[in-house]
Structure 1
């Protein structure tokens, strides 16, 4: 397969841009407890910072993708990554949790711009060969999720705590900004109507008539919600209750996320054979089984490293199937609205994480029960909602989407 010139350099940068949001969160996860103590914040206050980030990151996808169709990729990319760097600096020097949360909100906006522009550039440059390249960026992003907590734990342990971790995100952002300066504009046919509110609302209204898209949206939202409450709450449990160091926690977390990479690889190799619906059906089953086992083991023997880690790997294996399968199921039937569908499915994913994080913040106590209970609740809803909505799907919706 022949790619455009300098494709390896371009692809490496696009993987980095796609992973910027995940790196921003996962680096910090092992240090959430120290962050709260350092800013004299109430226990669980750091969860609000995580939730604000994913809320802005999710909402931004509804608007920034169409905006890049209108003004071009390069201006939005440079503005977004610059905002990311400045916001990260604000967080590094924050004196209280309110300032830190404000910085996280702007950081989420900048990371969102990087993600949607990177995905648009893949479509611009590789055109009909964009599918395999997009898959590579997803695998790269999942690898960042797996490795970042390990790196974040090492930085927190050996380089100065949570502020050193935030300075690491400044460094990543600065490198991305420097590299982005060498980008040439790839959107050569701009749409002056793209990004206008009336046009967006009309297009989303048509898109949401499809019960198929709604079922994939519920699957990805609830699956990511199940994952996110575990991601957000696991540091307090593994480090605060079970006594792991930040570095040990990073290794455990990396092992959990490795299941997601395995699921994504399986999906990449089999989705053309089985189709998105079957892949997501299998994935939501694994998600429900894994989360339910975590809850059962917690109630039978209490929290333990293996009792939390091993069943959660079953969940992430399923999630690695649900996430790319849902995106494919939403985008493939919409050739003329692929960007719009991708933006909405990304928004649904982050909406699930936001709701999950807010609920965990309200229910958080000194035990692991709120985390494992919410984890199971979101997972079971994902399993049930996908099946119920698929049974009720309207045949006419398929015809509309294919047009």
Structure 2
């Protein structure tokens, strides 16, 4: 894949992490500005999550019917305008509504990026490209809070959304100038009225569904870690808040490194080969994490080792699950990408909420959810392999 196209897809992949993590340091300041508390400001984050889950299902059929460029240009333009509306928000209600619209625009990049990769690459090449895009997904959660904190201290919280506006405007220009239409023009276009039927077909496509759920459970484990680690690190084990980023970043670094190693691995065996093996490693790390959390050790470092293994393994699990799920979807890659993202995000958000529901003042809720995700990921991986044999699906 040409470097320029890869850079554009990488920038589009950054929309989600940036829009989620960029403004997190500003929550207390925004609460003061809107004369409310942080819990109410967090509703703007929930609104973004809801928009992501809904919006992805909209863009899939549009991308299959009208091509990849048109829906993507509309989505990036919508994200740009909504980001500006966030910067100008006179009230919290305005901000929450603008964040919802921002998500509806931002998820276009998530859906179309996967579809474009599927249009241009075979399964092995797709796994390599998705591994390279994982670099963006790994770096953004590290750099976004740091950049947001710098903008907050220098220019106030609206500057964070002004920066998002400028970034998305540049992406809009890049897409308009340099992103080609990758949906073949000589084939039949999927009618919009068949969107529901296409989603039902995908639910009946057992290999697709199995790979999507396996990847979704891996993402769920990561969300459980994101939801539970601040309490475990800072409150339970007394890590200074300013040092939390270093621990978070070290795990993200493992994720990034394994994603790049995966690009080398899939050249020797297909993405399915490594996916089926890495889920067992993820489960083993999750089991070790749960056992250590149950022991309630006085030191944090024993927990960090299996936790690092869990997060690093996602660098192999996520790109390979995506490549396997998208393989064979052809002209319906937009709808497949949309359902893939919506399923994975819904499972992940549920796992993060479950950590909060199970909260008992220990590390066990986080560890239990991560372990449970590992058990289910292995289960769906095995069922998917059985389904592939049953339907004669080619081995990836």
What is the TM-score with the length of structure 1 in the denominator? 0.79
Hey, what does 2:154 align to over in structure 1?
159
Structure 2 residue corresponding to 1:226, chosen from 221, 226, 231: 221
CA separation of 1:27/1:190 partners in 2, compared to 1, >3 Å: closer, same or farther? farther
1:317-349 deviation digits (Å, cap 9, x = unpaired): 221222112122222244464444333322222
Check conservation: 2:56, 2:341, Cα contact below 8 A: yes
* Number of positions where the alignment pairs a residue of Structure 1 with one of Structure 2: 392
Q: Does 1:398 align with 2:392?
A: yes
Hey, what does 1:194 align to over in structure 2?
190
Hey, what does 1:325 align to over in structure 2?
320
Q: 2: distance between equivalents of 1:223 and 1:337?
A: 24
Deviation at 1:363, TM superposition (A): 5.1
1:32-53 deviation digits (Å, cap 9, x = unpaired): 5666676566666666544543
Check conservation: 2:127, 2:320, Cα contact below 8 A: no
Hey, what does 1:134 align to over in structure 2?
129
For structure 1, the residue ranges without an aligned partner over 5 or more in a row are: none
Check conservation: 2:63, 2:71, Cα contact below 8 A: yes
CA RMSD of aligned residues (A): 3.8
Partner of 2:177, secondary structure, is coil
Check conservation: 2:358, 2:365, Cα contact below 8 A: yes
Hey, what does 1:346 align to over in structure 2?
341
Pairing 1:15-94 to 2, within 5 Å after superposition: 15-29=10-24, 49-94=44-89
Q: 2: distance between equivalents of 1:44 and 1:34?
A: 13
Hey, what does 1:172 align to over in structure 2?
167
Q: 2: distance between equivalents of 1:33 and 1:236?
A: 17
CA separation of 1:334/1:8 partners in 2, compared to 1, >3 Å: closer, same or farther? closer
Partner of 1:280, secondary structure, is helix
Hey, what does 1:109 align to over in structure 2?
104
For structure 2, the residue ranges without an aligned partner over 5 or more in a row are: none
Check conservation: 1:283, 1:320, Cα contact below 8 A: no
Partner of 1:208, secondary structure, is helix
Check conservation: 1:145, 1:257, Cα contact below 8 A: no
Hey, what does 1:254 align to over in structure 2?
249
Q: 2: distance between equivalents of 1:288 and 1:37?
A: 43
1:278-307 deviation digits (Å, cap 9, x = unpaired): 322322223233334334333434686545
Q: 2: distance between equivalents of 1:237 and 1:37?
A: 27
Deviation at 1:111, TM superposition (A): 1.4
What is the TM-score with the length of structure 2 in the denominator? 0.80
Which range is displaced more, 128-137 or 294-303? 128-137
